[in-house]
Structure 1
Amino acid sequence: MNRMVINRDGVREPIDVDKIREKLIKGCEGLDINMVELESHIDTIYQENITTKRIQESLINLTVSMTNFESSHWTNVGGRLLMMEIEREVYHGRGYAYNDFYKTITDLCKNDLYDNRLLDYTEKEINELNKHMVPDRDMNYDYAGANMFVNRYLTKYRGEVWELPQEVFMAVSMMLSLNEKKDRVEKVKKFYDVLSQKKISLATPILANLRVPNGNLASCFISAVDDNIESIFYNVDSVAKISKNGGGVGVNLSRIRGKGSVVNGYLNASGGVIPWIKIINDTAVAVNQQGRRAGAVTVALDTWHIDMEQFLELQSENGDQRGKSYDVYPQVVVSDLFMKRVEENQNWTLFDPYEVRKKYDVELCELYGDEFEDIYRTLEKDESLQIVKKISARELLKEIMKTQIETGMPYIFFKDTANRLNHNPHRGMIGNGNLCMESFSNFSPTKKFTATREDNIGISKNTLGEVHTCNLLSLNLAEIEDIELEEISILAVRLLDNTIELTKSPLRESDRHNELYRTVGVGAMGLSDYLAYRYLMYEESAEEVDKLFEKIALYTLKGSALLARERGQYKLFSGSSWDRGIFFGKEKQYYIDNSEIANEWAEVFEMVAAYGIRNGELTAVAPNTSTSLLMGATASVNPVFSRFFIEKNQKGAVPRVVKHLNDRSWFYSEAKKIDPKEYVHVMSKISRWITQGVSMELLYDLNKDIKAKDIYDTIMTAWKTQCKSIYYTRTIQKNSNIVREKEECESCSG
């Protein structure tokens, strides 16, 4: 008896066993698995009148359930079957699949799904690009990557998927090349190849928004709030606009007067920063990221601020619930002086920024280094100051540590280190880090708010500050060959520089920052894959990692110098450290005397002296926990949590498998088995070659004999080895293997 299925049109027809087998052969091709094992389960999924779609879904679920440590390639079969199913759905939905890219573009532009600028390309050019497209690259995704691609990035129309993965990469590449003056189609092909071969991973805003109308491409924003009601609510409005467009926001609150400070001449009238944080918190919740999730905001406060102790209680379970803000991400801004006081077990003094400003005409949060230390010591001697509190520096750090273990936060930003290595100190300073602590540059508050009226028209004016703005991508070290590193690093800088002209920023201050600095952030993922492939253990690889990221620093800098020759240098280049011949805190002679690639450094020093560079900031290493799944690589520059595990969520189970599990599994060092101080040592090697920062995540296994001193020593090691920031603190809870997780900012996930 023929077994009957119901096809897409609702018609009963005999099951086509040959077609199923053909898909299974393609799904298993080249993989170290036995297809017969899968075929033997086919009978178990058949039900009377089952749909063809349901059969395909059941086959995919079978491959997922069959994935284990010994047979990890079943997840690749699942990914391939899912991609084949999506191609089938697209074919039935819009009437064609691959091989008619011109029709794809015209149809999607007509339905406002694609940016009409794609039609700047001629039909002849698009047909040439169609021939360059490689549909079989869809087969390079495991189930986790394919599942993410389908559900997060493919454009949908009337609830159905309406584009295919290789079309995504080609359309994005076309947008990236819109403003190229020479060989535009060839540039498209180059961008397409590195994206579709997973050598470069784009941050979520670029991959999701670049080909759609009016999409924001920037990942990271940081603003500063001045100490007045106009600035406070202006920044609340800015948080709403950024969140609406899918960006992650950092907000510096250190200028706001503390609790008990003067308001309109009345002492004890100020409620301090905590009430304003609650408003920011509620704004982030109310204005979600394009319907996907609540907005993501980190609020930053300097450790000398009089409200610091209350700030540390923002997310703790104890205390007055009216002072809690559970949807923001607190970070503390730490000076070298504070860390020295901790080390020497000395007192630390908290001040009210308003009182300091009124008496000394100085904005304490805008100072760092010797200038900060001089005025801070003067303030400590001033007995006339009224809003002052002396505490133990070490006890304050203990409170920070305690809160980190309980909540994963606050993040820590080492302000003096970041500003000491800032390449643009001639124009300002860096007040704190962004949402994922990897992206930061100069920023300043908008000031001088005035409002006038002309008849029935209200006119508001202000003096624009600068909102740090950065577009991100990651080099996928799991896929890049050593011989390709220079070319792809240079191409990555060009790619990101192109996005600056294409993006639609939600803020004028963001546009201004882009115009002045042209900040980009080339990052990295797949470091653990890179090391395992070379039979290197993570915790023993500090010197190898140091050399790798030195090359990335050199090549990205070279790429920006080449762009400067072609397009001009960034506006604030003159007077910068780059202009003065100081790269990463060191002059040319250091590289000549100490680097194994001294000749290449000498060449780049000459290029920068001749042409300048195109981008004020070049590199930033994001956590990219989610998009590393898409790329089939380990996240960021971190060790893996586990070589193999099944991630279970509301949508089902997803196997998480490292790239080289079959032949190099034991060279994947698991984070829970690495001493956090050894991890920090590797991070410090990377950080010294990054112009911005690295999302350094600490992990403590509380099942081990972890003492407060171990955590203290790890933080002190991070400071002493010149790390710029500490991102999230994860813990493995006692008597379990479960890590207390956090939600990642999608914007930084590239």
Structure 2
Amino acid sequence: MQAPSTLSEDSTTDIHVVRRDGSTTPLEINKIRTVVNWACRRIQVNSIALEAHLTTRLRPGITTREIQDNLIRCALDLCSPQEPDWRYVAGRLHIWSLWKDTKVSRGYQYGQYARTVQAKVLEGQYDRRILIYTPEELEIANTWINPDWDTDYDYAGAVLLTKRYLLANELPQEAFLTCALLIASVEAPENRLTWAHRFYEAIARRQISLATPILANLRIPNGSLASCFITAMDDNLESIFGSIHDAARISKNGGGVGVNLSRIRATGSWVMGKANASGGVIPWIKLLNDTAIAVNQGGRRAGAVTVSLDVWHLDLPEFLEMQAENGDARRKAYDVFPQLVVSDEFMRRVAADEEWTLVDPYEVRTRLGLELAELWGEAFENTYHKIEASLESEITLYKRVNARLLFKQVMRTQLETGMPYLWFKDTVNRANPNQHEGYIPGGNLCQESWSNVKPGEESHTCNLVSINLANLENEQREEICQIAVRILDNTIELTSPPFAASATHNAKYRTIGVGCMGLADWLSIRHLTYTRLQEISDLFEDIGYYCTAASMELAKERGAYPAFAGSEWSKGHLIGAKPVDWFLQHASQPERFSKLSQDIKQHGIRNSHITAIAPNTSSSLVQGCTASVLPVYSKFFYEQWAKGTVPIAPPYIRDNLWFYVENKTMDQKKVVRAIATIQQWIDTGISMELLFNLNAGVYFPDEPERCLVAVDIFETLMLAWELGCKAIYYIRTVQKDSFKESNEQCVACAN
């Protein structure tokens, strides 16, 4: 077999190239070969193959940037399931191009960090708070930068990092270092540089992933750093339009918002004493829908709003149909994300195939003096039975339906649109450590972060980071958890809340969300699967313990969150408001939880909510790991981007091919059991997507003609509730006859 031809000086003697600064020079093949060899260094690929693919693409007048782009395209073309590491070569070539562009633009690459800071502060790109550090301290920080860390990204990660997060004429390590310095700026002066160094290394080594608002907004003046917000509308115009205004301000700063509408009177209810005058919740949802489109995060993407409604609300059938293609177009809202707030009583009636009553909250409020939206657990059940006993005599605006048929309608809508999300209200509120201060009405956009909300007074606000399990050794677990908690507590001091109720909540509850990504990588490295529930439990027991203990230690240093007194934490209850006896029975190391309970009662805890696992779909590409804690969607596939197809694969696929279990063919009950196991150690929530493959024989290899049917999906959703999962995010399907490996798009849909 003939060896591939390589670049030669003879074939390119008459070719001149145009440099990035506009000057021309004869093409020097050795310079290209040097770049190729650098990009392929310590990667299991043959650099000669890349040279051979480039030969036919050289022409007189070609620019050096075009040569670089051609090298990138050649590397991507060589990428395959058998040789997946070419995507890292393409990533390095992209970074090389970034380095060169930056040098041409500003005259230098790395090595002059203090100069970069001064220039960007003058240009208004960097927050002036960075100047709390002296030039001498910035020079010390400059010595921490390791440019080699820029070369660890595959192509998808390198492109997302540079396009989405970097400012003009900024390099990756400068962005990470500036974030670390700003996060540490609230530390005591004598400790600032020490903590900044620890923060920088954790971020730059991709052991901790900053959520998009932090990484994108922290460096710029007056940036909002929170990822998650939840508001609730009261049943009056002032509250309704106030909530819409708040949603607009959140969207402007790139956050996602959940809006609960369960207090709003139903269609056909009374307005100013006139019967049948109310248009219900849909018109207000349409206003939120149009707000999300109009306030489009600075032109980057449409705003993101999830609207939640309790399962007893009379407008529920129309709520479920508002994204269907049929029906009145004036009652549709296609750009919001519907969320169903589900009670245990409803789920029990679904299981028992019993009737369910839909009611108008306004009539319940005015006739019986009860605010049904505020209630959960036993208080809700007693009130609901009282309402049902008052039908016709007191309550006239209602509808009786079969609970199971209603749930089937929910399932049908999920299979058609992926939504509504399911948020289990009683499960969440039982785990709420702040029951003494109120209740949680619904979930956030990604179904992992929530806390108390009071219309017009307190809006849930939460900052997020994620621990990258793919890049973490066991002995680093405690330190990284401590760093993650401290980073988030510091960002609370640095953020600019977008409205007053957000600022009030931030100060009162100090809610944070330390999440995880790369569980599929962690398992595959150890040759484990998602059925190894004990190993998964032990891992997240550690994470739950270390994060909770870190917040307690911060309380010793800085004081407990203001609403601590009377909370479940103050009673010695721990993760998920569970009594310490639960941990003594279920933890692999129970004695540490007993001591932690006593320490929290004595010293308090700094943050009311501490852990929450986000979907991380895009940020995991930057981090070079699998998203969140779910199985990898596919071992290898191509995603369609604007400039062509991009290969996507988990980081350790070459050596652990058989230990990456693909979610698209995995029994989702196994996923539910794994998430329920993790949920025991996570005090807020977990973004759990479920993915059902509708092709024949996927789940039943002994019955090649058998497909998944509705009862299989029904049983999976019921199992999630029974095992204590707090929410179900998107429902995804692989449709019949559309199972094409090269055209899978699920990896990016969660964001």
Please indicate the TM-score interval, normalised by the length of the shorter structure. Answer: over 0.9
CA contact (8 A) 1:296 1:745 kept: no
- Write the distance in 1 (CA, Å) between the matches of 2:46 and 2:407: 56
Would you say the 8 A contact 2:636–2:648 is kept in 1? yes
Equivalent residue for 1:175? 182
Corresponding letter in the other structure for 1:560? S
Is the contact made by 2:572 and 2:598 (CA closer than 8 Å) also made in structure 1? no
Q: Distance in 2 between matches of 1:394 and 1:374?
A: 21
Please tell me whether the aligned partners of residues 348 and 390 of structure 1 are also in contact (alpha carbons under 8 angstroms): yes
Alpha-carbon distance, 1:570 to partner:
0.2
Letter in 2 for 1:180: E
Provide TM-score, normalisation by structure 1.
0.95
| Structural mapping, 1:253-268, within 5 Å | 253-268=261-276
What code does the residue aligned with 2:187 have?
E
**Aligned 8 A contact 1:239 1:249 in 2:** yes
Give the drift of 1:243. Answer: 0.6
Instruction: Provide the residue aligned with 2:726 in structure 1.
Output: 724
Contact 1:732 1:739 (C-alpha < 8 Å) held by counterparts: no
Q: Which of 503, 507, 511 matches 1:511?
A: 503
1:697 matched to 2:689? The reply is yes
Aligned to 1:286: 294
Q: 1:612 aligns with which of 604, 607, 628?
A: 604
> Which whole-Å CA distance do the structure 1 matches of 2:500 and 2:744 have between them?
40
Matched, 1:636 2:604: no
Q: 2:472 is aligned with what amino acid?
A: I
Distance in 1, Cα, partners of 2:746 & 2:363? 40
Shift of 1:718: 0.6
| From 400, 408, 428, the counterpart of 1:398 | 408
Shift of 1:745: 6.9
- Give the direction of change, closer, same or farther, for the CA distance of 1:141–1:614 in structure 2 (3 Å limit): same
1:599 alignment partner, one of 571, 581, 591: 591
Q: Does the 8 Å contact 2:18/2:25 carry over to 1?
A: yes
**1:165 paired to 2:165:** no
Correspondences of 1:548-697 after superposition (within 5 Å) = 548-583=539-574, 584-697=576-689
8 Å Cα contact 1:5/1:48 also seen in 2 = yes
Distance in 2 between the 1:414 and 1:284 partners?
A: 25
Partner of 2:383: 375
Aligned to 1:327: 335
SS in 2 for 1:371: helix
For structure 1, list consecutive stretches of 5 or more residues without a partner in the other structure. 157-161, 447-464
- Is contact 2:20-2:101 (8 Å) kept? no
Tell me the alpha carbon deviations over residues 259-303 of structure 1, each in whole angstroms, 9 at most, x when there is no partner: 110111111010111111111111111110121011110000001
Query: Equivalent residue for 2:429?
Result: 419
- 3-state DSSP class of the match of 1:331? strand
Contact 1:335 1:415 (8 Å CA) reproduced: yes
CA distance in 2, matches of 1:607, 1:421: 20
The 2-side partners of 1:592 and 1:328 are apart by 43
Q: Percent identity?
A: 48
Q: Secondary structure at the match of 1:172?
A: helix
Q: Does 1:15 align with 2:27?
A: yes
Q: CA deviation at 1:594?
A: 3.6
Give 2:88's aligned residue. 76
Check the 8 A contact 1:569/1:615 in 2, yes or no: yes
**How far apart in 2 are the matches of 1:280 and 1:588?**
42
Contact 1:225–1:232, Cα closer than 8 Å, also in 2: yes
1:351 matched residue in structure 2: 359
Asked if the contact 2:431–2:578 (Cα under 8 Å) also holds between the matched residues in 1, the reply is no
The CA deviation at 1:194 is: 0.4
State the shift of 1:696 in Å: 0.5
Rounded Cα–Cα distance in structure 2 between residues aligned with 1:594 and 1:221: 33
Distance 2:668 2:749 in 1: 21
The corresponding residue for 2:9 is none
Opposite residue 143 of structure 1, the aligned amino acid is: Y
Output the CA distance in 2 between the equivalents of 1:164 and 1:734.
45
**1:236 aligns to 2:244 (yes or no):** yes
Alpha-carbon separation, structure 2, partners of 1:742 and 1:431: 30
Is the alpha carbon distance of 1:424 and 1:739 closer, same or farther for their aligned partners in structure 2, counting shifts above 3 Å?
farther
Q: Distance in 1 between matches of 2:584 and 2:632?
A: 36
Contact 1:732/1:740 (<8 A) preserved: no
Match of 2:455 among 431, 445, 451: 445
* Structure 1 residue 199 corresponds to structure 2 residue 207: yes
Question: Would the aligned equivalents of 2:637 and 2:744 in 1 still touch at CA under 8 Å?
Answer: no
Supply the distance in 2 between the matched residues of 1:742 and 1:553 (Cα, whole angstroms).
27
Q: Secondary structure at the match of 2:290?
A: helix
Amino acid at match of 2:710: A
SS in 1 for 2:492: helix
CA distance in 2, matches of 1:606, 1:89: 56
Report the alpha carbon displacement of residue 218 of structure 1 after superposing the two structures with TM.
0.3
From 522, 537, 546, the equivalent of 1:546 is 537
Q: Which residue in 2 is equivalent to 1:407?
A: 417
Q: Tell me the secondary structure at the aligned position of residue 477 of structure 2.
A: helix
What secondary structure sits across from 1:662 in the alignment? coil
How far did 1:602 drift? Answer: 2.7
Query: Shift of the alpha carbon at 1:739?
Result: 5.6
By how many angstroms is 1:741 displaced?
Answer: 4.8
Secondary structure (helix, strand or coil) at the match of 1:524 reads strand
Q: 3-state DSSP class of the match of 1:41?
A: helix
Q: Which position in structure 2 is the counterpart of 1:462? A: none
Q: How far apart are 1:646 and its partner, in Å?
A: 1.1
Structure 2 residue 422 is matched with structure 1 residue 431: no
Aligned to 2:8: none
Q: Deviations over 1:178-233 (max 9, x none)?
A: 11014211111100000000000111000011111111100000000000111111
Q: CA deviation at 1:744?
A: 5.3
Q: Deviation digits for residues 342-365 of structure 1, max 9, x if unmatched?
A: 111110001100000002211101
**Pair 1:318-2:320 in alignment:** no
> What secondary structure, in the 3-state scheme, does the structure 1 residue paired with 2:159 have?
helix
**Equivalent residue letter for 1:141:** Y
| Contact 2:618-2:748 at 8 Å conserved across structures | no
Contact map agreement 2:633 2:747 (CA 8 A) in 1: no
- The alignment's C-alpha RMSD in Å is 1.2
1:490 correspondence with 2:482: yes
Structure 2: gaps of 5 or more residues:
1-12, 697-706
CA distance in 1, matches of 2:223, 2:32: 40
How far apart, CA to CA, are the structure 1 residues paired with 2:204 and 2:586?
38
Q: TM-score, normalised by structure 2?
A: 0.95
CA displacement at 1:650 relative to structure 2: 2.4
Matched residue, 2:136:
124
Deviates more, 1:652-661 or 1:220-229: 652-661
- Paired with 2:455 and 2:747, the residues of 1 have a C-alpha distance of 29
Matched, 1:154 2:166: yes
Gap change, CA 1:38 and 1:651, over 3 Å in 2: closer
Q: Which amino acid aligns with 1:152?
A: R
Distance 1:297 1:244 in 2: 12
Residue 410 to residue 740, structure 1, CA distance change in 2 (3 Å): farther
Counterpart of 1:566, as a letter, is E
For 1:335, give the aligned amino acid. S
Q: Do 1:730 and 1:740's aligned partners in 2 also have CA atoms closer than 8 Å? A: no
Cα-to-partner distance string for 1:415-446 (whole Å, 9 max, x where unaligned): 00000111111111111100111111111102
- The 1-side partners of 2:74 and 2:424 are apart by 49
Amino acid at match of 1:567: R
For the 8 Å contact 1:330–1:409, the answer to whether it is kept is yes
One-letter code of the match for 2:560? Q
> 1:596 aligns to what SS in structure 2?
coil
Q: CA deviation at 1:17?
A: 2.1
1:138 equivalent in structure 2: 150
Tell me the alpha carbon deviations over residues 456-487 of structure 1, each in whole angstroms, 9 at most, x when there is no partner: xxxxxxxxx11000000100000011110011
Q: Distance in 1 between matches of 2:737 and 2:100?
A: 47
